[in-house]
Chains A and B, each alone.
Chain A
Amino acid sequence: MTATRRDFLSGVLASTAASALSAGTARTASAQASTLRVRFYDDPAGFDPSNIFRIENENIAFNIFSGLTTYDSTSGKIVPDLAESWENKSNKVWSFKLRRGVKWQKNYGEFTSADVVYTYNRIVDPKTSSPYAAEFGNVESVEAPDPYTVVFTLKTPDGNFLHQVANYHQGQIVNKKAIEDAGDRVRWNPVGTGPYYLDFIDVNSRIILKRHADYFRGPAPIETLYFQIIKDESTATIALRNGEIDLIMRSNREENLDILAKAGFTLNKVDNYAALVRVVNPATNRALADVRVRHALAHAIDWEAVCKATGAQLQAPAHSLLLPWMDAYSPNVPRYEFDQARARKLLADAGAARGLVVRQLGTAAQGVTEIQQFEIDFLSQVGVTMRMELVDTPTFNQRRNRAEFELSSRLLPAVNPDTILFSYLHPSNAAPRGLNGARYDNPKVTSLLESARAEVDPAARKAMYVELQKIALTDMFYQPLYTSNVVWPGKKNVVGVRINYLAQVNFHEVSFA
């Protein structure tokens, strides 16, 4: 748990040496011997990339580890990370040229292609029991012809493979010796090549990251990241206003954002981070098998008004399963404008003129949210009674995974459009095997999904994605409701807080003004 004296001393020595060596460069001229205090909103659950969960933990891992590729903080585009460049043959053989001279944290030596091979073998090794093993299910072999080259050969072509090797979950490269040294405490002893290393953790109160002096892009401006666990959002708001912290990792309450904005704090924000979709399960309610009923549900609610009333800074209406910043996004898909007269007619045509009862699964922890109260009201205006079934969160997850619901919702963060579309729409992912809780199975969509994944030409791939979205959004078993924004309020002098589309912040870009 706690760093050893040797780790601490070596960290201090390394950072001192690095500062001295690079004195005079533009980068270190701006380096600040300083501490940034950040609110961390839940108990940490560990940082082993093979078994990491939840955005807050992923945020820590994102700054400790590197992938072969990573995401640009602003555009969300794939950019080089540990790989300097890559080439591929027919989307099937992917060859990566690695950076030279990259140093592991905590004196674990130099990064080479053997680390990449070890990482991917570890993920797929049944002994690791990694839930992300399936992400590499399509990898036939990984070879390291020399210390700075890695070649992946896939079983079937995958045009989105660069996402699989990005700095996220299974894509984060680990060090074999560090893993072996950590024994059964791997998740609490992460060693990566990223801009910060884990210096200390008390799972009940704080996580301290220190600047990795030998980081291949140069040392980060801020020396220490002090993550203070503050679960209650109002307490976090007061702590920021009191000056006890500099930055809030994620604030989800509109009233707190208003207070902080008025008090002169910066609301660092990323819009459209992920889309919440309603999952319609016709197996448990026959009426929902009728496409007219599903369209009626979509027409019945004024999402513009609902989003505005409940938190204009935190969400916006969604019209697609994908996000507007994704390559495969297209506005030219069926849209369901607010039209209650049309909703009533569709219901009447479907034989539900006298009313319809549907059950929406939700969590007791959230209760009936403000948004759901609006939904219930809007639906009642067209004769649909939406009853809430509130269960505790683990039960909610289990029932949703087993498709034991009539209506449910899911928010799947991903940068790769293929992840979202395949997860929802491909029959191989039908519940309980995967996230396709509606058990959607349209052969045309399935064929397009598989063809798009294998397609070499990006334009042709996009055309297939658009076509299959048109079909899926006509069938409407997955109904886009609204997109979520992520806000990190902070002090004015904390600059460079750019939240990427996985709701992560690269602290190497953050500094004090």
Chain B
Amino acid sequence: MFAFAGKKLIQLIVTTIGVVTLVFFTLRLIPGDAASAMAGDTLSGEALERLRDQMGLNEPLMSQYLTYWRKLLVLDFGETITTGLSAGELMRAAAPITISIALATIVVTVLLAIPLGTLAAFLAHKGKKGLDSLITGAAMVLDLMPSFWTGLFFLLFFSLTLGLFPASGTVSLENPGHFLQRIALPVMVLSVTQVATMARITRTAVLEVLSEDYIRTARSLGWSELRVLFRHALKNAALPIVTVVGLSFGSLLNGTVIVEFIFNIPGIGSLLVNGINSRDYQMVQNLIIVYALIFVTINFVTDLVYRKIDPRVSF
């Protein structure tokens, strides 16, 4: 296990160096910079150059690169170019919000999608096509709904019509009740697509297992259908489901960008989009590292879970 963790750590370091270097130089190859993004219609020429000076954009590229690494090695994420605020502080404030939304979505998804997918597989196995088709069809429709559309629909219905959730307001972990109220709609929107995807994967995986000999054997022992389904069939179909859960967490981090915009949530997705739009190199570089770390961690955890579920799995 230690060898495995060590190998993963080396992969993480190499990945991070590669990602930082790639992002650092490609960002600067793109035309336009933070100064021109900020100045918009109003500045040009000498005035724009003054702004560049102030932002440190006229420093030699290699000097900027080495400065960035020197700071990063002591976990100093520097200051954002456009606001002058500590990038580390901004990320520390934003990350828990996005991670909470992603985790809550995963929990809701697992709680809904696995029973639904298993049920659909069971119905299909028993030849009850009607209800299976209904669940599968609904999953496909939900899967295809873009989150910006679902988001607006949920806002209109749950916030404006029913008045259940606010459309705006602060999002702070210091007030858990209000926090949950504010993230409820984003979680619901993200869950729609995730439930649909995971229910379909679960159905396929469980359906495949239900035809196996050991399931027939379990039934012949007189065990209840529920026990056979959830204790034996689902457990043996778990590998692809765990893979999807791991991948979902990654895709959710990306997916939150849109819902954070619609629901006015100040998470890391919002920081990233703002950073890219304003060419805030410092912020984008930092966030890419954070994303890379999260993805590598997810993969690491997923690998560990694989091993727990199926001891035959080796790395």
- Residues of chain A at the chain B interface (Cβ within 8 Å): 1, 39, 43-46, 51, 53-54, 129-134, 184-185, 187-188, 202-206, 228-232, 234-236, 238-239, 241-242, 244-245, 365, 391-399, 401, 410-413, 429, 431-435
Contact B47 A132 (CB under 8 A): yes
Contact B168 A234 (CB under 8 A): no
B163 interface residue (CB < 8 Å to A): yes
**Complex partner residue of A244 from B33, B46, B53, B167, CB under 8 angstroms:** B167
- Residues of chain B at the chain A interface (Cβ within 8 Å): 30-34, 36-48, 50-51, 53-54, 82-85, 90, 93-94, 152, 155-156, 159-160, 163, 166-171, 261-264, 266, 270, 274, 277-279
CA distance A42 to B298 in the complex (A): 32
A-B contact pairs, 23 of them (CB 8 A): A43-B83, A45-B82, A129-B54, A130-B50, A203-B85, A204-B90, A204-B94, A205-B170, A206-B170, A228-B168, A231-B261, A232-B262, A235-B155, A235-B263, A238-B159, A394-B37, A395-B30, A397-B32, A397-B36, A398-B31, A398-B33, A412-B42, A435-B44
Which residues of chain A are near B160, meaning CB under 8 Å? 238, 241-242
CA distance A391 to B36 in the complex (A): 13
CA distance A271 to B202 in the complex (A): 58
Find the B residue at minimum CB distance from A423.
B44
Point out which of A235, A393, A431, A432 has the most chain B C-beta atoms below 10 A from its C-beta.
Answer: A235
B259 to nearest A CB, angstroms?
10
Which residues of chain A are near B94, meaning CB under 8 Å? 204
Contact A394 B90 (CB under 8 A): no
Which residues of chain B are near A245, meaning CB under 8 Å? 168
Which residues of chain A are near B274, meaning CB under 8 Å? 43
Which residues of chain A are near B46, meaning CB under 8 Å? 134, 433
Contact A234 B155 (CB under 8 A): yes
**Complex partner residue of B155 from A46, A188, A238, A413, CB under 8 angstroms:** A238
Contact B50 A205 (CB under 8 A): no
Contact B43 A131 (CB under 8 A): yes
Point out which of A39, A239, A394 has the most chain B C-beta atoms below 10 A from its C-beta.
Answer: A394
CA distance A251 to B40 in the complex (A): 19
3 closest A-B pairs (Cβ-Cβ)?
Answer: A394-B32, A204-B266, A131-B47
**Complex partner residue of A230 from B38, B41, B168, B171, CB under 8 angstroms:** B168
Q: Assuming A131-B39, A398-B36, A412-B41, is B51 touching A232 (CB within 8 A)? A: no
Q: A242-B166, A401-B44 are in contact. List 7 more A-B contacts (CB 8 A).
A: A53-B40, A205-B171, A234-B262, A238-B156, A239-B168, A401-B45, A413-B41
**Complex partner residue of A431 from B44, B84, B262, CB under 8 angstroms:** B44
CA distance A499 to B83 in the complex (A): 27
**Complex partner residue of A187 from B32, B50, B84, CB under 8 angstroms:** B84
Which residues of chain A are near B163, meaning CB under 8 Å? 242
B257 to nearest A CB, angstroms?
12
Which residues of chain A are near B50, meaning CB under 8 Å? 129-131, 133
A162 to nearest B CB, angstroms?
20
Contact A397 B264 (CB under 8 A): no
CA distance A164 to B277 in the complex (A): 31
CA distance A53 to B278 in the complex (A): 13
Which residues of chain A are near B166, meaning CB under 8 Å? 239, 242, 244
Which residues of chain A are near B152, meaning CB under 8 Å? 234
Contact A229 B264 (CB under 8 A): yes
Contact A239 B40 (CB under 8 A): no
**Complex partner residue of A51 from B32, B54, B270, CB under 8 angstroms:** B54
Find the B residue at minimum CB distance from A134.
B47
Which residues of chain A are near B263, meaning CB under 8 Å? 235
Which residues of chain B are near A54, meaning CB under 8 Å? 38, 40
CA distance A409 to B171 in the complex (A): 38
Find the A residue at minimum CB distance from B278.
A394
Which residues of chain A are near B84, meaning CB under 8 Å? 46, 184-185, 187-188
CA distance A172 to B42 in the complex (A): 18
Which residues of chain B are near A229, meaning CB under 8 Å? 264, 266
Which residues of chain A are near B90, meaning CB under 8 Å? 203-204
Which residues of chain B are near A185, meaning CB under 8 Å? 84
Which residues of chain A are near B45, meaning CB under 8 Å? 401, 429, 431-434
CA distance A399 to B31 in the complex (A): 8
Which residues of chain B are near A45, meaning CB under 8 Å? 38, 82-83
CA distance A225 to B33 in the complex (A): 33
Contact B167 A242 (CB under 8 A): yes
CA distance A365 to B261 in the complex (A): 14
Which residues of chain A are near B83, meaning CB under 8 Å? 43-46, 187, 203
Contact B33 A394 (CB under 8 A): yes
CA distance A431 to B36 in the complex (A): 14
B282 to nearest A CB, angstroms?
15
Contact A235 B54 (CB under 8 A): no
B31 to nearest A CB, angstroms?
4
Contact B85 A188 (CB under 8 A): yes
Q: Assuming A43-B274, A129-B54, is B39 touching A230 (CB within 8 A)? A: no
CA distance A230 to B277 in the complex (A): 17
Which residues of chain A are near B36, meaning CB under 8 Å? 394, 397-398, 401
A174 to nearest B CB, angstroms?
17
Which residues of chain A are near B169, meaning CB under 8 Å? 228, 244
Which residues of chain A are near B30, meaning CB under 8 Å? 392, 394-395
Contact A235 B48 (CB under 8 A): no
CA distance A241 to B155 in the complex (A): 12
Find the B residue at minimum CB distance from A394.
B32
Point out which of A185, A206, A397 has the most chain B C-beta atoms below 10 A from its C-beta.
Answer: A397
CA distance A205 to B260 in the complex (A): 12
Contact A235 B32 (CB under 8 A): no
CA distance A235 to B154 in the complex (A): 11
Point out which of A54, A184, A242 has the most chain B C-beta atoms below 10 A from its C-beta.
Answer: A242
CA distance A116 to B54 in the complex (A): 23
Which residues of chain B are near A411, meaning CB under 8 Å? 41
Which residues of chain B are near A53, meaning CB under 8 Å? 38-40, 42
Which residues of chain A are near B43, meaning CB under 8 Å? 131
Contact A396 B32 (CB under 8 A): yes
Find the B residue at minimum CB distance from A135.
B47
CA distance A130 to B42 in the complex (A): 13
CA distance A395 to B29 in the complex (A): 11
Find the B residue at minimum CB distance from A403.
B44
CA distance A58 to B279 in the complex (A): 21
Which residues of chain B are near A1, meaning CB under 8 Å? 85
CA distance A466 to B93 in the complex (A): 55
CA distance A411 to B42 in the complex (A): 9
Contact B85 A51 (CB under 8 A): no
Contact A232 B261 (CB under 8 A): yes
Contact B167 A392 (CB under 8 A): no
Q: Assuming A134-B47, A394-B36, A434-B44, is B31 touching A129 (CB within 8 A)? A: no
A266 to nearest B CB, angstroms?
19
Contact B264 A235 (CB under 8 A): yes
Which residues of chain A are near B167, meaning CB under 8 Å? 230, 235, 238-239, 242, 244
Which residues of chain B are near A187, meaning CB under 8 Å? 83-84
B276 to nearest A CB, angstroms?
8
Contact B44 A393 (CB under 8 A): no
Which residues of chain A are near B48, meaning CB under 8 Å? 131, 401
Which residues of chain B are near A396, meaning CB under 8 Å? 32
CA distance A228 to B41 in the complex (A): 25
